[in-house]
Structure formats: C-alpha cells, structure tokens
Amino acid sequence: MTNILVIEDDDTILENVIEVLQLSGYEVHGEHDGLRGIDYVHRMHPDLILCDIVMPFMDGYGVLIDLRSDAETMSLPFIFMTAKAERHEMRYGMALGADDYLIKPFNTDQLLTAVNTRLERHTQLAKAQKMQMAELRSSIVHMLPHEFRTPLTAILGYTDIILEAPESWSLEQIISMVERVNHAGWRLFRMVENFQVYAQIALLRSEPDRLIRLRQDFTETPGALIEQWAINKVNQYKRNSDLDLQINEVERVCVAVANLKKIVEELVDNACKFSKEGTPITVSASDYTPAPKAKSLYGLQVTDQGRGMTAGQIAQVGAYMQFERRLHEQQGSGLGLTVAKELAELYEGRLTIESVLGQHTTVFVVLPL
C-alpha cells in the first residue's frame, strides 16, 4: 500500500488531510513538526510527503533541504501545503526541489489530484530509469566482447609473431608491427573511454541534482581550445594539411572543458576516419542568434568530403543499442558520435547531421552561451 507522510502543525488540517487520503486507500502517517517528520522518513521511507511550511522546530524549507541532500530521499515526491502563495516564495520552494504546491485552503479534489499526479509521475520516472539501465546493461553485455576483441586480436597477434621468432624479423618489420599494436591499443583505449562516458551519461539522466551541477560548468575562450584539439586530432591521422579552421572566439560556453573536448575530438575523429586523405575537413565555430530576441548560442560545425551517411544511419545516432551489426564491423563502433550527441543534450544543446551518401557529411552542434 502506498505510504504518505503528512507534516502539519495544525491539528484540524492534519486530521482532515489524513482522513481524505485514508478514505482514498492510502496508508497515511502524520507528524506535527519537521524534525519528527524527517525522523519518520528515514525510518519508514514513505512514497510521498505533504508538508506545511511554517512549523515549530524546523520549517518546511528545512525539511526539504534535509531530504534533498540525502541520496536515499532526494527523489521522494514532495508537496508543500501552505497559505504563503507569493510567487517568490513558491519559486524558492521549487528551486529547493519541491514538486508541487497546495495553497490553503484547498478542497478534496485539489488534494487528491496533486497527490495522484505526483505519485503517477514518480512511478513513470522510476519505470523509465529502470528501462534505461536495463538497455545500458544489455548494450554493454552484448557489445563489449565484440568491440574489445578486434583490437585485442591485433595486439596479441602481432606481439605473438614478434616474440615467437624475433630474430627472423628486420628492425623495419618489427617497427611496422609495433605501430599496428600501438594503433590497436589506442583504438581500445578510446572504446573503453567512450563506454565509460556513455554509462556516466545514462546515470546522470537519473540524477537531477548532479545534472543541475553539471550545467553550471563552463569553458572560457573555447575557440582557442577547439582549434588546438582539432589540430591534435588530424595530426594523429597525418592530415594536418587537410584541416580548414574557421573559429570565432567567444568569452565562454556553458559546457565543462572535458566534455567540450570530447565532443570536438569525436567529431573530428569521425571526419578523419570516414574521408580520404587529401580531402578537406572544415571545423568552424562562432556565436549566433537564431531569432530576434532569442538567446545567443554557440555553434560548432565539422564538415568532411567523405563517404557520407544514409538517412537510416543518421536516425540511429543517439540510439546506439539499435545500431546494425554491419556498422560495428567498420573501424570503430559508432559510439563516439552518439556520445557527442548525448553530451550536447546534457547541456540542453543539440546535435544534428546533414549528409549526402558518397559526397559529404556536416555535423552541427549547438550549445548554450
């Protein structure tokens, strides 16, 4: 049975709320002050809390702050019951993490609607999070062995050849094989890194407080950093002469440095990987205003003249678990582009792709300034 805690110092209101909820089939417990309410929460773990604001010993804000600072209680549905209906006070409560407000005096319908809505919403979120984690586990279980086996086979194969008869190979041949081992090792390193970032993104989506803190990070003078990251990446492919940089500097962009670097590196790496040496790779970045009176945004764009993508492949970006097996036989798993898209969306940005198969691909990333 669903358990609801009501914290209210007015006996009449407390008794009325408890009676209405019990008649609706809920198990209900009441407390007269915030300290007792917090103690009950940690002992009994109710499914929803209705709480007055003005109370002795600890007010409703203190209760909410305490609960939202504890990992075990931070996601509990929480509804304020108050006669304090000023907008700034409601905004303050919502900023602390309140899910809803019931303005006194409220009637039975208003009470039940607020309670049922919050409980249903909480159930839906819990189901969505379980499904997301199940998909993530399934993806890791099915994809990790395949993605790791290919570079490991190269590493073990070449090292076995060298170790079995080192005297039969020339120095030039050994260096060539070591270079292949090194390439496979870096490929494996990037895959591990991408799987780790992908898993962290999935966890972040289920932890609103961590997501809020993440969005407070920023990168100062991103243009200079983007330029350097792009140069470093094309150098790995020995394609420095193919790079065309069109960067306009801005003061800051609202993305953590490590995550912006990850986005840039994955986009430029994809451009190098899926286009031929000698064809241009253009990296541009600047601020722009999408519409009059709209907030300015930061646009990052990477274009290559390579193999391009089909509409189906573009649609699958961001749905990594659904990628076809044949894509995974290519160099790389395709996860890098998905990671870039997911990172952009974590910061309330977006990633879109325009491509013509066999001709070119342009990836656009829009981020908040």
Helix or strand holding residue 287 (H, E): strand 281-288
- Architecture in CATH for domain 128-205: Orthogonal Bundle (1.10)
Same fold, 3-106 and 207-369: no
For the chain, domain boundaries: 3-106, 128-205, 207-369
Q: Which fold has domain 3-106?
A: Rossmann fold (3.40.50)
The model's confidence at residue 123, banded by pLDDT at 50, 70 and 90, is: confident
State yes or no: pLDDT of 225 exceeds 70. Answer: yes
- Alpha-carbon Rg for the chain in angstroms: 27
Mean pLDDT, residues 112-119 taken together: 93
Longest dimension (CA), the chain: 94
| Rounded Cα–Cα distance for residues 242 and 305 (Å) | 11
Q: What is the DSSP letter of 83?
A: S
Q: Structure tokens of 161? A: 């050849």
Q: Tell how far CA 241 is from the center of its chain.
A: 35
Position 305 scores a pLDDT of: 92
CB neighbourhood size of 268 (10 A): 26
Q: What is the DSSP letter of 69?
A: T
Within 8 A by CB and 6+ apart from 59, the residues are 34, 53
The size of the chain, in residues, is 369
Alpha carbons 306 and 359: distance in angstroms, whole number: 6
Give the model confidence (pLDDT) of 188-199 as tens digits.
Answer: 887 778 777 877
Q: How confident is the model at residue 5 (pLDDT cuts 50, 70, 90)?
A: very high
The residue that leads in pLDDT, 132 or 269, is: 269
Residue that wins the pLDDT comparison between 335 and 248: 248
Give pLDDT, residue 273. 87
Q: How many CB atoms sit inside 10 A of residue 10's CB?
A: 15
The amino acid occupying position 24 is S
**How does pLDDT run across 309-326, given as a tens digit for each residue?**
877 777 666 544 433 333
140: nearest Cα among 198, 189, 188? 198
Give the lowest-confidence range in 78-82, 213-217, 244-248, 253-257: 213-217
The two beta strands, 281-288 and 243-247, are parallel
Phi first, then psi: give them for residue 285, nearest 5 degrees: -155, 135
The CA-atom distances, in angstroms, between 283 and each of 181, 237, 265, 286, 344 are 30, 16, 11, 11, 17
> Do you find a cis peptide bond into 166, omega within 30 degrees of 0?
no
d(CA 75, CA 211): 13
Q: What is d(CA 109, CA 24) in angstroms, rounded to the nearest whole number? A: 11
Q: What does the alpha-carbon distance between residue 352 and residue 153 come to, in Å, rounded to a whole number?
A: 35
Q: What is the average pLDDT value for the chain, to the nearest integer?
A: 84
Which pLDDT score, from 0 to 100, does residue 329 have?
41
Sheet holding 78-82, edge to edge: 27-31, 3-7, 48-52, 78-82, 100-103
Q: What is the mean pLDDT of residues 171-178?
A: 91
**Residue 319: count of CB within 10 angstroms of its CB:** 11
| Fold adopted by 207-369 | Heat Shock Protein 90 (3.30.565)
Alpha helices in the chain (DSSP H): 11-23, 34-44, 60-68, 87-96, 108-164, 171-205, 208-214, 222-236, 257-273, 311-316, 325-328, 335-346
User: Helices 257-273 and 335-346, interaxial angle, to 10°?
Assistant: 150
pLDDT at 257: 92
CB–CB of 20/32 below 8 Å? no
Report the C-alpha gap between 242 and 105 in whole angstroms: 70
Long-range pairs for 106-115 at CB < 8 Å and ≥24 separation? 106/81, 108/20, 111/17, 111/20, 111/21, 112/20, 112/21, 112/24, 114/79, 115/4, 115/21, 115/26, 115/48, 115/50, 115/79
